């Protein structure tokens, strides 16, 4: 068990009818607010108007950057940073899902430097993030956990790269989590978001390091929560209880709490980032396809106990059988959940990802060296896992 | 499901070999440090010397208040506040268990006002807590969760009162949670601390309000954690894994995370505070005796489902039987855990609490009105529960 520092000071307003606190919170950071958002869905649900009203009531000055895309691109980051510089922005207000919040994080950092925004993500440069403008977020999609974590992932279509980075300066100061803001999320996006949450937990749960049992219990609880409520939210999109559980799970799956000192790398995320970088597919879908294959690939006698724990505690598999069988049953049930219950496409062929790119994607996925995760993965291992996804 | 604000900015250094960060953290708040502690056990385990060394190395000035008692008294609070005023203290460093940290919280508040410290706790006055000196804590007993919450309980032997109060200004800024600092905690104190943690969870878990399922899963996970590791820590006091799990559970049982907007009052704690106020017994012991009786008293058809959930998910009781039987089995297993596994005394008679005080204690316990908890408890109900504890 490793030592760790727990330090997650993000303040969260959870539940409906909390937006009345927005003006007060923004005002703590200054007068000039840059509102960032995506494709306009926040206008359809009335959230845009509500936000603008709060900002005006609080006597703040509003600036806007719209059109932040899924798998947000460095171009949007550059554009936002320029607005911050030109308009002397004091605080950023990201309204959207993980993509909008991620882009906003690097806008906040890039606003404070003279160099190009990509220098923060170019692995050959890795420019230091010494400060960032304060960020407030209003979440509209339960998935990435960006609302309460230090990470952001930015894509560069020119270089075919999708790079993530964590830094304490990127942590939102305040986040508004109102489940009703996710009522219009489509069944498909709900499924992808839920697969993303599950992956965040699995990446930590399946780990070689000796753990705090308490945190394993929490992870199993979060997995059961997503498995219970994702299907409900798909069928009853305005089920508050379902949306609320998915929303709070999305934050706690990845805010650092469950990681607690574990140093092992994540596995499926780097493999998936290359899918998105090469094909611009939905992150959660890629993770859903990869995760059961990765589990299957890593399964052996030395790792089987964790699979058994997962199968028994998350899916209620009878613990009395043979270990390997219980482990395989757990993988099977997770696959069924992704591809039957959530109805996600189950393989690369169906979504147009082609074997001729496997080598290049696998090479990129481990460009920092072998992925030292649950099982170490070199380029050849990753190619094999990609093959299993066909 | 209610809305809530999540806001727990306490920074936690968890694990062994973290004390090297103490000087740096204290220095953020100033130069003049008041170290508060209890009966000297911190000297026996070498923690006192380590703390003094860190303070000296950081070039800080050290002042001391020792002798803070279990069920800390307002007299210690007054004494500490006077030192703060006389010596212009910048930051308080509480080294100990919940009693030391609780006393330090009100020292921190009382240092900032001219009136008597008890005015904060006298329910007829309830003086506002507008500010407090910053508090850093080093925990040596896993129990109260004071290291990461806004609450403190102070006793007044003159008035025979034990009063708790919560205020954001009382939240420690930084806490050091090193499981090795609890290695010398006796089996009996480990048992009492564990009963306290369990009670904190039960008070929230047994609640009439519609809940986040995810948080119920977390609570069940924490209960399983304490049930698994308390007996281990009693038999192997230097089992790091056991001590670490109990320590992190103690913080998360009561830092507000699991409460998440639930407004219902706690039940066993106010009933127990009167035991301690009248008899000065150990808090966790009183809670262990009260909790199963309270559960039994509240059990009826309208509440039985929560008992079933508890019995099945925490103790693995077979869910296929009759609900009332499953519920009773859960209470029975919790009693066995407290009184057989942990070896705690199981009734008031054994610890000298006498029926002639029941009426006065029950009256005090609900002096703020009926306790609107899982089941509303008026004075007569509380007396009946006390009777069940004989």
| pLDDT of A162 strictly over 90 | no
Q: In this structure, are A219 and A124 located in the same domain?
A: no
Same domain, residue pair A103 and A124 = yes
Same domain membership, residue B290 and residue B163: no
Chain B residues whose CB is inside 8 A of the A212 CB are 244-245, 248
Q: For residue A153, give the CATH number of its domain.
A: 3.40.50.1970
Q: Which candidate in B213, B219, B220, B319 is best for mutational testing of the A interface (most A CBs within 10 A)?
A: B213
Give residue for tokens 């106020």. B277
- The verdict on A47 and A160 lying in the same domain is yes
Averaged pLDDT of chain B: 96
What is the number of other CB atoms lying within 10 angstroms of the CB of residue B319? 12
Structure tokens at B100: 């030391």
The ipTM assigned to this model is 0.94
pLDDT > 90 fraction of chain B, expressed in percent and rounded: 91
Q: Note whether A189 and A176 are same-domain residues.
A: no
Task: Using CA coordinates, name the residue in chain B closest to A174.
Answer: B7
Contact state of B15 with A2 under an 8 Å Cβ cutoff: yes
- My answer on whether A147 and A244 are in the same domain is no
Last residue in a domain, options A131, A164, A181 = A181
From A177's Cα to the closest Cα of chain B, the distance in A is: 10
Query: β-pairing, A11-14 with B4-6?
Result: antiparallel
Same domain, A200 and A343: yes
Q: The domain spanning residue A273 has which CATH number?
A: 1.20.1090.10
CB contacts of A221 in chain B (<8 Å) are 214, 217-218, 220-221
Q: Given A120, A146, A181, which residue is the final one in a domain?
A: A181
Instruction: Mutate one of A2, A3, A18 to test the B interface: name it (highest B CB count within 10 A).
Output: A3
A102 falls within a domain = yes
Residue A174 structural domain: 11-181
Residue B3: its chain A contacts at CB < 8 A?
A: 13-18
Q: Does A5 reside within a domain?
A: no
Q: Of B181, B198, B231, which residue sits at a domain end?
A: B181
Strands B151-156 and A11-14 turn out to be: unpaired
CB contact under 8 A, B11 and A7: yes
Same domain, A37 and A93: yes
Residue contact B210–A248, C-beta within 8 A: no
Write out the H or E segment, with its range, that includes residue A338. none
d(CA A105, CA A347): 32
pLDDT at B209 > cutoff 90:
no
Same domain flag for A271 and A306: yes
Q: Report the C-alpha gap between B50 and B28 in whole angstroms.
A: 19
Give the number of A-B residue pairs with CB atoms closer than 8 Å: 107
Confidence of residue B47 (pLDDT cuts 50, 70, 90): very high
Mean pLDDT on B67-83:
95
Which run of H or E residues covers position A347?
none
Give the pLDDT confidence of A210-262 residue by residue, as tens digits.
Answer: 779 999 999 999 999 999 999 999 999 999 999 999 999 999 999 999 998 88
B213-235 and B187-205 helices, crossing angle to 10°: 170
Q: Is B245's CB within 8 Å of A9's CB? A: no
Average pLDDT of the residues of chain A: 96
- Cβ(B180)–Cβ(B242) under 8 Å? no
CB contact under 8 A, A221 and B224: no
B216 in a structural domain:
yes
Residue B2 belongs to a domain:
no
Say if residue A177 is in the same domain as residue A190: no
Domain count within chain A: 2
The residues, ordered by sequence, that sit 6+ positions from B282 with a Cβ below 8 Å of its Cβ are B70, B189, B192, B276
Q: Has residue B124 been placed in a domain?
A: yes
Q: Do B241 and A210 touch (CB under 8 A)?
A: yes
Residue of B nearest to A4 (CA): B14
Structural contact between residues B47 and B184, judged by C-beta atoms closer than 8 angstroms: no
The verdict on a CB contact (< 8 Å) between A212 and B260 is no
Is A224's CB within 8 Å of B210's CB? no
pLDDT single digits (tens) A22-40: 999 999 999 999 999 998 8
The pLDDT of residue B262 is above 90: no
The pLDDT score that the predictor gives to residue A28 is: 98
B276 pLDDT tier (thresholds 50, 70, 90)? confident
pLDDT value, residue A208: 80
Q: Are B206 and B137 within one domain?
A: no
Core vs surface per residue B271-285: b (16+ CB within 10 A) or e? bbbbbbbbeebbbbb
**Of A93, A130, A138, A136, which is closest to residue A109 (Cα–Cα)?**
A130
Q: Answer yes or no: is A359 within a domain.
A: yes
In this structure, the answer to whether residues A166 and A297 fall within a common structural domain is no
Residue B211 falls inside a structural domain: yes
Is the pTM for the entire model greater than 0.90? yes
H-helix or E-strand spanning residue A361:
helix A358-365
Q: Determine, yes or no, domain membership for A365.
A: yes
């Amino acid at each position: 068990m490793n030592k760790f520092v727990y330090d997650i000071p993000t303040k969260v307003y959870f539940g409906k009818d909390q937006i009345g606190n927005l003006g007060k919170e923004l005002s703590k950071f200054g007068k000039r607010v840059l509102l960032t958002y995506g494709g306009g869905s926040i206008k359809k649900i009335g959230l845009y108007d509500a936000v603008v009203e709060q900002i005006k009531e609080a006597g703040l000055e509003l600036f806007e950057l719209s059109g932040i895309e899924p798998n947000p691109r460095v171009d949007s980051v550059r554009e936002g940073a320029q607005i911050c510089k030109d308009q002397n922005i004091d605080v950023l207000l990201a309204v959207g899902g993980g993509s909008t919040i991620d882009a906003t994080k690097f806008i906040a950092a890039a606003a404070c430097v003279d160099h190009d925004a990509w220098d923060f993500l170019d692995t050959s440069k890795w420019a230091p993030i010494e400060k960032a403008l304060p960020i407030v977020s209003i979440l509209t999609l339960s998935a990435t956990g960006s609302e309460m974590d230090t990470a952001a992932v930015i894509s560069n279509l020119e270089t075919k790269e999708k790079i993530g980075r964590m830094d304490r300066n990127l942590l939102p100061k305040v986040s508004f989590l109102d489940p009703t803001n996710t009522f219009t999320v489509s069944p498909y996006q709900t499924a992808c978001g839920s697969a993303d949450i599950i992956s965040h937990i699995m990446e930590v749960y399946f780990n070689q390091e000796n753990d705090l049992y308490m945190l394993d219990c929490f992870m199993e609880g979060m997995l059961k929560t997503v498995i219970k409520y994702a299907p409900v939210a798909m069928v009853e999109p305005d089920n508050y209880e379902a949306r609320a559980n998915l929303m709070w799970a999305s934050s706690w799956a990845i805010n650092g709490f469950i990681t607690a000192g574990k140093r092992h790398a994540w596995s499926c995320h780097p493999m998936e980032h290359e899918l998105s970088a090469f094909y611009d597919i939905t992150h959660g879908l890629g993770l859903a396809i990869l995760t059961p294959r990765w589990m299957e690939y890593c399964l052996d006698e030395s790792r089987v106990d964790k699979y058994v724990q997962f199968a028994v505690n998350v899916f209620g598999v009878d613990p009395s059988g043979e270990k390997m069988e219980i482990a395989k049953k757990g993988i099977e049930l997770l696959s069924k959940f992704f591809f039957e219950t959530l109805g996600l496409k189950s393989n690369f062929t169906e979504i147009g990802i082609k074997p001729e790119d496997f080598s290049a994607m696998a090479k990129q996925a481990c460009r920092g060296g072998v992925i030292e995760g649950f099982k170490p993965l070199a380029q050849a291992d990753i190619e094999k896992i990609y093959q299993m996804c066909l």
